[in-house]
Amino acid sequence: MRIFFSIRSLLMTLVMLTVSAASFAQTSVAVSITIGPPELPVYEQPLCPGEGYIWTPGYWAWGDDDYFWVPGTWVLVPEPGFFWTPGYWGWGGSSFIFYEGYWGPVVGFYGGIHYGYGYVGHGYEGGRWDNGRFYYNRSVNNVNITEIHNVYNTTVINNNTTVTRVSYNGGNGGINERPTPQEEAAAHEKHISPVPAQIQHAQAARATPALRASANHGKPPVAATPRPGTLNDRGVVTAKEGERYNPPARSENNAARPSTAVHPKDLPVITRPTTGGAGNPKVDKKYQQDQEKLIAKQEQERQKLQQKQEQEHQRLAQQKADEARKRQLEQQHQQQTQQLAQKHAQQQQKLQERQQPPRENPPKPPKEKP
């Protein structure tokens, strides 16, 4: 796994962006990482703290060489008539890209991710605006009707045949959804970036070690909060269920780098796992053996490509090629290297997926006797 940050993305660190009063087009932050975020954890929605708050679902962000969970929370809407479009991760062909969420009069595309509580992949079924007041759909929102009277009850029908907790769009195993013309237009219309409370909320999550994926393995201890930044509030909820996520071991080679790898020698050293994590010694041993075989094969492929590229450099030097031809060759080498890195990341991911214990099917109810 290799990570690259541009100066801009390093300063913004995903969602911790400088707030602008209004912006156009959905902001994206490129993080050159080939390992996708964990699945979305399962959790209960905290009670809505009051009228005018809209639910913003939790998501996995990236920072400090690790994914970390930003808990779902209720946020006071910045402007009447506005809705929240959640951010999402998308596969950009050679790395994952985070598309920042925003406020606007129309809900835009959020990757087809099923965040729940009204965010069913497209649009928002959790509430509607009427004469400057937000009305909550009680079928998907936890609302105290003795304090909030502007409510209604409409069953949300999910048109998808299967509801998945996958948290990214595209790539290997990602959600295969594309934006509608209306959603594409929404991303380019006038909208508002995350408000300061949301930025502080994400910063608080990043500063909490227990919310890192390497610590909670996909099941964060604080999955959602009643208000932004209140990670220690007694009203916070924990995840009921989460993926058995075992991120790759960190190393100094996983640090931010200023440019994309051009040759295999520029790629970080492939780290070896310390354990399979299945809890079964035989299974873990088999997993480590498979890992060692895969790593040996991948290192051999790196060396082979490196030798091939070096030979091409030597031939070009003998031909006394001009700068344009040299740049063209470097571009070819960069593409070859990134394709190889992507291929190896997919192989590692498939091996990790095979390591996961099979999910048990729920027992069938006994047949009623006639």
- Listing DSSP states for 313-353 in one string gives HHHHHHTT--HHHHHHHHHHHHHHHHHHHHHHHHHHHHHHH
State the pairing for strand pair 88-91/168-169: parallel
Residue 182, classed as helix, strand or coil, is helix
pLDDT at 260 over 70: no
C-alpha span between 302 and 315 (Å, rounded)? 20
C-alpha span between 253 and 250 (Å, rounded)? 8
CB neighbours of residue 277 within 10 Å: 18
- pLDDT, residue 290, reads 85
C-alpha span between 334 and 342 (Å, rounded)? 12
How far, CA to CA in Å, does 172 sit from each of 61, 100, 111, 191? 19, 21, 14, 31
**Among 60, 48, 100, 35, which residue's Cα sits nearest to residue 254?**
35
The 10s digit of each residue's pLDDT in 185-215 is 888 888 888 998 998 899 899 989 999 998 9
The 10s digit of each residue's pLDDT in 300-313 is 998 999 999 989 88
67-81, 85-99, 227-241, 336-350: segment of lowest average pLDDT: 336-350
User: For residue 1, what pLDDT band results from cuts at 50, 70 and 90?
Assistant: very low
Strands (E), the chain: 28-31, 53-56, 59-63, 66-70, 72-76, 83-85, 88-91, 96-99, 102-104, 127-130, 133-137, 151-152, 168-169, 224-225
C-alpha span between 292 and 275 (Å, rounded)? 12
User: For residue 159, what pLDDT band results from cuts at 50, 70 and 90?
Assistant: low
C-alpha span between 185 and 367 (Å, rounded)? 52
C-alpha span between 350 and 173 (Å, rounded)? 10
User: For residue 23, what pLDDT band results from cuts at 50, 70 and 90?
Assistant: very low
b (16+ CB within 10 A) / e for 217-234: bbbbbbbbbbbbbbbeee
**Among 212, 211, 354, which residue's Cα sits nearest to residue 277?**
354
CA atoms within 13 A on the CB side of 188: 6
Residue 141 DSSP label: S
Give Cβ neighbours of residue 133 (< 8 Å, ≥ 6 apart): 51, 150
pLDDT at 266 over 90: no
Whether 234 contacts 46, CB under 8 Å: no
Give Cβ neighbours of residue 118 (< 8 Å, ≥ 6 apart): 55, 124, 125, 126, 127, 137, 140, 141, 156
C-alpha span between 142 and 159 (Å, rounded)? 23
CA 207 to chain CA centroid, Å, is 18
pLDDT at 86 over 50: yes
